[in-house]
Amino acid sequence: MLQALESEAAGKEEIDAQDRIACLGALERKVLWLSTWMIHNANHLRPNRDGLKVGGHQASSASLATLMTALYFDVLRPQDRVAVKPHASPVFHAIQYLLGHQNREKLERFRAFGGAQSYPSRTKDGETVDFSTGSVGLGVGITLFASMAQDYLRLKGLVPTEDPPGRMIALAGDAELDEGNIFEALLEGWKHDVRNLWWVIDYNRQSLDAVVSDRLFGRIDAMFEMMGWRVVTLKYGRLLEAAFARPDGHHLREWIDACPNSLYSALVYKGGEGWREHLHRDLNRYPGIRAILDDHDDKALQRLMTNLAGHDMESVLDAFHGVADDRPTCFIAYTIKGYGLPFAGHKDNHAGLMNLDQMASFRRDMGVAEGAEWDPFAGLELPPERLSNFLSSAPLARADRRRHDAPRVPVPPSLRAPRGAKLSTQEAFGRILGNIAAAGGALADRIVTTSPDVTVSTNLGPWVNRRGIFDRAERADTFREENVVSAQRWAMSPKGQHIELGIAESNLFLQLAALGLSGPLFGTRLLPIGTLYDPFIKRGLDVLNYACYQDARFILVATPSGITLAPEGGAHQSIGEPLIGLAQPGLVAFEPAYADELAVLLRWAFEEIQREDGQSVYFRLSTRPIEQPKREISPELEEAIIAGAYWLHEPAEGAELAIAYCGAVAPEALAAHQEVAEDIPGAGLLTITSPDRLHQGWQLARSAGKTGAAERLLSRLCSGAALVTVGDFHPATLSWLGAVVGNRIVPIGVDRFGQSGDIPDLYRAHGIDTGAILDAAARACLLAMR
Ligand SMILES: Cc1ncc(C[n+]2csc(CCOP(=O)(O)OP(=O)(O)O)c2C)c(N)n1
Ligand SMILES: [Mg+2]
């Protein structure tokens, strides 16, 4: 009896499995159709007003249709998070449409204003996109840092741990592995013992321009294994495996194994006849191979020879379901670029689009009638109801909202500014964070700091000493245990709140992006602070842009900066970074001069990064100790510091000159102002805390028909008054101020590489010392008199 029941149950499972494969097979066809049609519609059927090719990637999409169908309709669980290969966006949108999470109008408007985006975008496509992609390599990398963020939250009990962790999954093009950021991330991941990470490589052996080198992949799996990953290779599908099992079949396997990528791709494109010709030439002496060729007409032979595992649903499901533990896993899935489409395998197919005739014949093959193009089930062999039931039973279809609304972390009304006659903004930063660490509470508990091997030199020491370094395991501070004196405590544990990274700025920004999305991704906000040297922002600039593009929220502290780092010399000096701060969307930049300003701004930043329409915040800080003003910060002054500027010395009404400075050059600006004031008693001295905020305020005010802070401030001066701007950065950072109310402006700053020296020598050489400010003031006054 028991046996009968067991075999009945086994039989049912078998039917379920077959049913599942049948449904997934049908849906895979639909996904391929919809993604191809979406692009076709955008390029051939929508009116084109500007003559630009609309584009889309039919071949790159087709390459991933099987793998993504398997993942989204069967394998993925609600807590998994995915970065999709950018140019598989149409497949992604098609899948979301079938799941009922995307509407037809968006598909019809693929790549049009307000429509589905060319590359999946968190901010524009919404809820269903976990990570934006577009700049190849970065979507892959962010999943690794998201897995670290997830570990960070779980090990601290900051998210519920009853549910299993999510798998962070990247669907990567094979050529994405040429991007250096992938390797930087892999090494960092190994150090941090990353878990729950899957990288699925769409190994179609083609990039944008070409077919990739045959020798490469032997290296690539070895490298993943070296980093502790499991490598699962999906090479041949069921049909080919069956052929290999026939008499002489191993010769066929050896032939394909030895076939150069370019020849394989070319034969895929040529089809059955091409295969037959080559196999006949090379393997005709084996009777078993002759039998295989006789048993397959050209169409069947093409089907057989292109039956790679990445297009074989059963193989794909076996591979994904075969991984049950949390070890990071790389799936190398052999695929064909353009699989199932007429330009499959052609080396130029990356930007290729099917023409009208090709589409007509594809439509016939797919059994889709005219007018039924967007119908979710048209032309499929299975009844719509069965497919629709199958879809609604997919774990992702049943899930609640994918994106969390994480409660905000309360921020105290003020942060204590460090006191001292002379302080640098870098020192003030370290002390403010140290105070927060000592005070404890919600704010302190949610801050997480990270730095690419410049923790100590950016002055995160006071914070790290109190809050410790994060690691999955407890690791002792050996120097401390051996009683070797050090100012830095370096013990590691899951409780630690600092993530120490190796020297790779790209990793810093990916880590900030992942931590800065912890609210929407995992349901608990973190307040990430990353530190690095200001010039090395440029090393990670595309990644910073990537983080901002997807609206990740974090605080970036860049220090030391400018030529003011003096003896450190020209290689470490930054010049154009404030212009990046000015121009980068999603990032607001500050360069305060004084500790009390920084205390105001840091507090504001903790709120800003949590505001719905807020931004990330970049502080450019200096190592130069300067004399601090003795003052209480009034609410008005606080507001002005945040808005970007205030009069340190108020000009007389209608004054003819003002000096505006920003950051570490404060002492020179003050001295110059004092001298100028002897000749022009009403001259003003403007402290600029943020060229970026001032500029943004100016632009916003103009479009809203209001008066911005810059206009309000400069209107104190007489019409056409002389204005000097000075900062340790490119003079263009502030030169636009002359356009606000029409001042006669002389902007001075740094516009060439420097060298080692002390501040007096360097400021003189670069023309930003007191004398240079005075000269500029004289020139500006001359201009104003003309
Ligand atoms: C950083 C960056 N450089 C260049 C590009 C342009 N680009 C888009 S796809 C691509 C090649 C991708 O090849 P692969 O990853 O193998 O994807 P496939 O289309 O073959 O699946 C390139 C160079 C880009 N998107 N991002
Ligand atoms: Mg490729």
Cis geometry, peptide bond prior to residue 585 (ω within 30 degrees of 0): no
Share of residues in the chain with pLDDT > 70 (%): 98
Least confident of 221-225, 251-255, 725-729: 221-225
DSSP string computed for 23-81: HHHHHHHHHHHHHHHHHHIIIIIS--SS-------HHHHHHHHHHHHHIIIII--TT-E
8 Å CB contact between 515 and 149: yes
8 Å CB contact between 614 and 411: no
The answer, yes or no, to whether any atom of ligand 1 lies below 6 A from the CB of 559, is no
The answer, yes or no, to whether any atom of ligand 1 lies below 6 A from the CB of 175, is yes
DSSP state of 752: S
> pLDDT tens, 401-421?
899 999 999 999 999 999 999
Q: How far away, in angstroms, is 129 Cα from ligand 2 center?
A: 22
Structure tokens at 109: 């408007």
The answer, yes or no, to whether any atom of ligand 1 lies below 6 A from the CB of 202, is yes
> pLDDT tens, 3-40?
655 666 666 666 688 999 999 999 999 999 999 999 99
8 Å CB contact between 491 and 469: yes
CA dist., res. 85 & res. 350, Å (int) = 14
Task: Look up tokens 């204005």; give the residue.
Answer: 723
- What are the φ/ψ torsions at residue 208 (nearest 5 degrees)? -80, -50
Q: For residue 62, which ligand has an atom nearest its CA?
A: 1
Nearest CA to ligand 1 atom 1: 135
Q: How far away, in angstroms, is 312 Cα from ligand 2 center?
A: 18
Contact partners, residue 712, CB within 8 Å, separation at least 6: none
Mean pLDDT, the chain, rounded, equals: 95
Give me the amino acid identity at 276.
Answer: R
The answer, yes or no, to whether any atom of ligand 1 lies below 6 A from the CB of 87, is yes
> pLDDT tens, 54-88?
999 999 999 999 999 999 999 999 999 999 999 99
Q: Ligand 1 pocket test: pick from 39, 66, 87, 311 the residue with the most ligand atoms within 8 Å of its Cβ.
A: 87
Q: For residue 135, which ligand has an atom nearest its CA?
A: 1
**Per-residue pLDDT for 146 more than 90?**
yes
pLDDT of residue 705: 83
Atom of ligand 1 minimally distant from the CA of 202: 21
CA dist., res. 231 & res. 217, Å (int) = 12
8 Å CB contact between 519 and 404: yes
Q: How far away, in angstroms, is 113 Cα from ligand 2 center?
A: 28
Q: How far away, in angstroms, is 148 Cα from ligand 1 center?
A: 26
DSSP state of 663: G
Q: How far away, in angstroms, is 178 Cα from ligand 1 center?
A: 10
Q: What is residue 402's three-state secondary structure?
A: coil
CA dist., res. 18 & res. 31, Å (int) = 20
Q: How far away, in angstroms, is 179 Cα from ligand 1 center?
A: 10
> pLDDT tens, 338-382?
999 999 999 999 999 999 999 999 999 999 999 999 999 999 999
> pLDDT tens, 719-763?
999 999 999 999 999 999 999 999 999 999 999 999 999 999 999
> pLDDT tens, 458-488?
999 999 999 999 999 988 888 888 888 888 8
CA distances in angstroms from 29 to 23, 153, 343, 377, 631, listed in the order given: 10, 39, 17, 10, 71
CA distances in angstroms from 748 to 258, 685, 729, listed in the order given: 65, 15, 9
The answer, yes or no, to whether any atom of ligand 1 lies below 6 A from the CB of 261, is no
CA dist., res. 699 & res. 710, Å (int) = 10
Q: How far away, in angstroms, is 204 Cα from ligand 2 center?
A: 5
DSSP state of 480: H
Nearest CA to ligand 1 atom 19: 60
The answer, yes or no, to whether any atom of ligand 1 lies below 6 A from the CB of 205, is no
pTM of the shown model: 0.96
For the segment 240-248, the average pLDDT, to the nearest whole number, is 98
Q: Ligand 1 pocket test: pick from 350, 509, 510, 544 the residue with the most ligand atoms within 8 Å of its Cβ.
A: 350
The answer, yes or no, to whether any atom of ligand 1 lies below 6 A from the CB of 174, is yes
**Per-residue pLDDT for 703 more than 90?**
no
CA distances in angstroms from 220 to 223, 254, 308, listed in the order given: 5, 21, 19
Share of residues in the chain with pLDDT > 90 (%): 91
Q: What is residue 83's three-state secondary structure?
A: strand
Q: How far away, in angstroms, is 271 Cα from ligand 2 center?
A: 20
Closest CA to 656 of 723, 709, 712, 713: 723
Give me the amino acid identity at 156.
Answer: K
Structure tokens at 708: 């911005």
> pLDDT tens, 562-595?
999 999 999 999 999 999 999 999 999 999 999 9
The answer, yes or no, to whether any atom of ligand 1 lies below 6 A from the CB of 514, is no
Closest CA to 550 of 22, 124, 62, 202: 124
Atom of ligand 1 minimally distant from the CA of 173: 15
CA distances in angstroms from 284 to 179, 242, 401, 582, 686, listed in the order given: 42, 19, 58, 68, 87
8 Å CB contact between 63 and 339: yes
Exposed, middle or buried, 586 (CB in 10 Å: 0-12/13-18/19+)? middle
The answer, yes or no, to whether any atom of ligand 1 lies below 6 A from the CB of 349, is no
Give me the amino acid identity at 267.
Answer: L
The answer, yes or no, to whether any atom of ligand 1 lies below 6 A from the CB of 128, is no
pLDDT of residue 4: 59
Q: How far away, in angstroms, is 124 Cα from ligand 1 center?
A: 21
The answer, yes or no, to whether any atom of ligand 1 lies below 6 A from the CB of 181, is no
Q: Ligand 1 pocket test: pick from 174, 207, 220 the residue with the most ligand atoms within 8 Å of its Cβ.
A: 207
The answer, yes or no, to whether any atom of ligand 1 lies below 6 A from the CB of 61, is no
What phi-psi label fits residue 41: left (phi over 0), alpha (psi between -120 and 50 degrees) or beta? alpha
Nearest CA to ligand 1 atom 15: 173
8 Å CB contact between 582 and 522: no
Contact partners, residue 753, CB within 8 Å, separation at least 6: 570, 573, 575
Atom of ligand 1 minimally distant from the CA of 119: 25
Q: For residue 84, which ligand has an atom nearest its CA?
A: 1
**Per-residue pLDDT for 1 more than 80?**
no
Atom of ligand 1 minimally distant from the CA of 63: 21
